[in-house]
Amino acid sequence: MNVFKKITFRSPIVNKNIFFLFSFLFLANSAYYAYHAVFTPFVQQVVNCRLIYLFLIAAFILLSFIGNKNEKTNWKKTLEIFILILLPSAILIAFGYFFHPGSFKNNSRFFANLIIVASSLIFFLKLSEYWKMGSFFFKARKDKTPEKSKDKKKPDFLMIFILALVIIANLSFGSYHLSKFAAVDEPLWTFERIPKFWNNVLDGEWQKTMISDKPGITVALISGIGTLWTNPKEYKLIEQEEEIKVQAGEIEKMNFPMRFPVLLFSALALIVFYYLLSKLFNSNIALLSVLFIGLSPILLGISRIINPDSLFWIFSSLSLLSFFLSIKNPKNSYLVLCGIFLGLSLLTKYVANILFVFYFGLIFIDFFLNDKHGNREWKDYFQEMIKKYLVIIYFSILTFFILLPAAWVNLGRIAQGTVLSEAFTASWKMFLIFILFAIFEAWILKGKIFGFIFSFLSKNKKIILKIFCFIFLVSIIVAALNTLFDMQWFNFESILASPKSNILNPKSVTGAFLANFYPLVFGIHPLALLFSVIAIAGIFFSSKNKYWSDDKKNWIAYLSLFIFFYYTASFLSKVGATVRYQIVIYPLIFIIAAVGMDFVLNRFKKTTKIISIAIIALFLIVSMENIRPFYFSYASEILPKKYILNLKDMGDGSYEAAQYLNSLSDAENLIVWTDKRGVCYFFKGGCFGAFELNKGRMIDYFVVSAGREIRTARHIPYKGRHNDFEVQVDKIYELDNYDYRLDIGGRPNNYIKIFSYERLAGEKN
């Protein structure tokens, strides 16, 4: 006992020599482990390394208890120091894996990467203290004063009631025939990627959890809940010599449990939309936004499909709203929330990298548009905003790491999801150079260059804002007029029919760009379009009406700017923004429409407002009912019937076509060819979905659809043979002598036709 009394240090964490000793021992042990991992097989030496690790950890914990009797061990500080002690060892193993990927086991890489990420969090928190940004995880103590307690508003139960009704309506419409359709590309997720993800997680093969380049991890996490009630392998199609057969069991039993988690998640996300929008605007605009979003057929339609787009629109929109809130109210919680939603967006679809560019660009735009900055110098503002920008980046990467098991054992996956992703392949170097230049200009040149530019822009900001809104409004109006006047100037359908090919060599650059507005203008309810135009046009008359505060004008401008920026990026990437490719735009235009509607309703009394909202909700529900269950094929009531909005449909009508075929006598023995592979999932007999078949194959029925006509004509001149008569498939689309026809959404050019061999033979004769 006398020996312990002579020990004067309180714990090893305050003794730099012991700190260095432990770090050196861990590093030496890791070097020994790395040497044998690379140059010798995994034998007893690795076991010895593990034993040494355990001994060192035990010794550290024991010494942490040693100290004065009156002193308590600071576990938070002890853990922090212990992680930093392990950091050199972790870096060594991480670099070793980079040069020799096959030499290190998963558990070694996992713990090494975990230590690196934990260390980054420690450094980040220390840096935030240095930046005087306060705590990121704990709320600061608030002074409990009578004045503040009086300011708290009671919850508006009418708002809550209406919000609940919207969520119930969303789930009710969404659940209808939820299992009775086959979506394009969905089998890749249900039968392959989602089961593969969870099997690899449970088997500890984390490096194989990068199931797609999208990467679609959030899809696997949410939709994968359904695997607790169903096994997708039991319903997988069997292909034998190009013929598709359905395994025993009705596939509807798999579809519902796999799809419903995604539908439920999107419905509950409306609550988060309401919360953030009420903070950004007010509860009225928040409720109207949720009304448009929750009762949008297109957003509901994509939310019923197991696909990254079904979640991407949620996470990206919420990240944008959180970023706007961080500008309005500089709380760390909004920065963290923005980063988390951005990380979830990156885990859903690599296109989310566009937000990194937009957020950085908005730092510049907000400086000269926002009057709150006053006469503040650019360098001070930029230095503060770049810190917040780094906070967003850090938490997005941290979220990406936590939810992607492949990153646990390979930190390179983070780079593949961000700067090395397809969205950043051609531009990340230029973007990085611009960021470095902006930092150099602010810190070294003291903001003289940008300060001069912004002094000019600030003087003309009202004109600049009006010019941008004018261009945005003109684009909407021209796209609408071009369509209503038979597309005499630009054929939007032709441009968007093959979004990754036709857009490569457009006849008109203007037409290719304006084609992006076609799904926007006619993909929302006419009332939503009208109110969005009112909101954007309101900026021109803001000086004459007190309703248009600077904040409202800025948020409308920023939302419109993102839409314009997204279209520009799509155009430069040579990809046409079809309905699915611009799904992220719809909630944003609905928010703009909500502001316009609130402006109109602001002139009415409360009772009139409630009646007006009820009438508009009724109009939205009627539109939903008219298109049910083909929500994703919705087109505005003002779009001429001869046009199709969603030229790349997701398989609508496959179930109905199969049901007709199943109603035929002796359906089990019939042979069908279809350009919609989804028909095969519900048809009892033999089914072909391939482009080419043996000419001797006996085909009884042919199923063709408008959405697959161009693809069929491009890939087939295939002839199906029945007895001595040959059928040229690519010519069937022009025939009207059908046995069955379904016009989706009441549009004759969005059809599914079924032809029997007998009718085709009769047509030929």
Q: What percent of the chain has pLDDT over 70?
A: 78
Backbone phi and psi for residue 672, each to the nearest 5 degrees, phi listed first: -125, 140
Across 13-17, 207-211, 304-308, the highest mean pLDDT is recorded for: 304-308
Question: What does the pLDDT read at residue 371?
Answer: 63
Whether the CB-CB separation of 299 and 293 falls below 8 Å is answered with yes
Spell 415-426 as b/e; 16+ CB within 10 A means b.
Answer: ebbbbebebbee
- pLDDT at position 154 is 58
How far are the Cα atoms of 240, 380, 438, 456, 738 from residue 451, in angstroms, in the given order? 69, 11, 11, 9, 69
Angle 461-484/526-538 helices, nearest 10 degrees?
150
Q: Is 761 strand, coil or helix?
A: helix
Confidence at residue 7, expressed as pLDDT on a 0 to 100 scale:
37
Mean pLDDT value across residues 72-84: 70
Q: Which residues pair with 753 in a beta bridge?
A: 704, 741
Q: HEC string of 46-66?
A: HHHHHHHHHHHHHHHHHHHHC
Check whether 587 has a pLDDT greater than 80: yes
Residue 555: pLDDT above 50? yes
Query: Could you tell me whether strands 751-756 and 701-705 are parallel, antiparallel, or unpaired per DSSP bridges?
Result: antiparallel
Residue found under tokens 């919207």: 166
Model pLDDT for residues 243-281, shown as the tens digit of each residue: 566 554 578 889 999 999 999 999 999 999 999 999 999
Which residue did the predictor score with more confidence, 260 or 749? Answer: 260
Confidence of residue 2 (pLDDT cuts 50, 70, 90): very low
CA angle, 356 as apex, 352 and 359 as ends, to 5°? 120
Lowest mean pLDDT among 388-392, 570-574, 640-644, 678-682: 570-574
Higher pLDDT, 6 or 595: 595
Residue-level pLDDT at 207: 86
Distance, CA of 619 to CA of 527 (rounded, Å):
9
Query: Is the pLDDT at 453 greater than 60, yes or no?
Result: yes
Instruction: Tell me if 408 sits within 8 A of 206, measured CB to CB.
Output: yes
CB atoms within 10 A of CB 300: 25
Residue 366 has pLDDT above 50, yes or no: yes
Q: Distance between the two ends of the chain, CA-based, in angstroms?
A: 110
The H-assigned helical ranges of 642-682 are 654-662
Check: CB of residue 689 under 8 Å from CB of residue 244. Answer: yes
User: Does pLDDT of 713 surpass 60?
Assistant: yes
**pLDDT at residue 51 in the model:** 57
More confident residue, 726 or 655: 655
Instruction: Find the mean pLDDT for residues 609-624.
Output: 92
Beta strands 686-688; 701-705: pairing state = unpaired
Question: Which pairs with CB-CB distance under 8 Å and at least 24 residues apart come from 759-765?
Answer: 760/702, 760/725, 760/727, 760/732, 760/735, 761/722, 761/725, 762/737, 763/735, 763/737, 764/725
Contact indicator for 351, 425 with CB cutoff of 8 Å:
no
Q: Supply 668's token pair.
A: 């089990």
Residue appearing with tokens 């988390």: 340
Q: Is 727 helix (H, G, I), strand (E, B) or coil?
A: strand
Residue 71, judged by CB atoms within 10 A of its CB (0-12, 13-18, 19+), counts as exposed
Strands of the 686-688 sheet, one edge to the other: 238-240, 243-245, 686-688, 671-674, 701-705, 751-756, 740-743
Residue 218 contacts by C-beta under 8 Å, 6 or more apart in sequence? 308, 311, 315, 344, 347, 348, 403
What is the band of 145 on the pLDDT scale with cuts at 50, 70, 90? very low
Confidence band for 141, pLDDT divided at 50, 70 and 90: very low
In the predicted structure, residue 594 carries a pLDDT above the cut 90: yes
Residue 675 contacts residue 704 (beta carbons within 8 Å): yes
Collect all residues with Cβ–Cβ distance below 8 Å to 726 and sequence separation of at least 6.
Answer: 695, 719, 720
461 vs 175: which has the higher pLDDT = 175
Are 614 and 620 contacting, i.e. CB atoms less than 8 angstroms apart? Answer: no
The tokens describing 104, both together, are: 């290190």
Residue 74 CA to residue 62 CA, distance in Å, equals 14
User: Contact, 668 vs 684, CB < 8 A?
Assistant: yes
**693 pLDDT higher than 60:** no
**Highest-confidence segment of 232-241, 557-566, 606-615, 698-707:** 557-566
Distance CA 701, CA 759 (A): 10
Give pTM, 2 decimals. 0.88
Residue bearing the bigger pLDDT, 100 or 526: 526
Span 472-526, pLDDT tens digits: 999 999 999 999 998 888 888 888 877 665 554 545 778 888 989 999 999 999 9
Name the one residue in this structure whose structure tokens are 């605007």: 281
Is residue 728 helix, strand or coil?
strand
Mean pLDDT to the nearest integer, 30-59: 58
Average predicted confidence (pLDDT) for the chain: 81
SS3 assignment, position 567:
helix
In this predicted structure, what is the pLDDT of residue 708?
A: 79
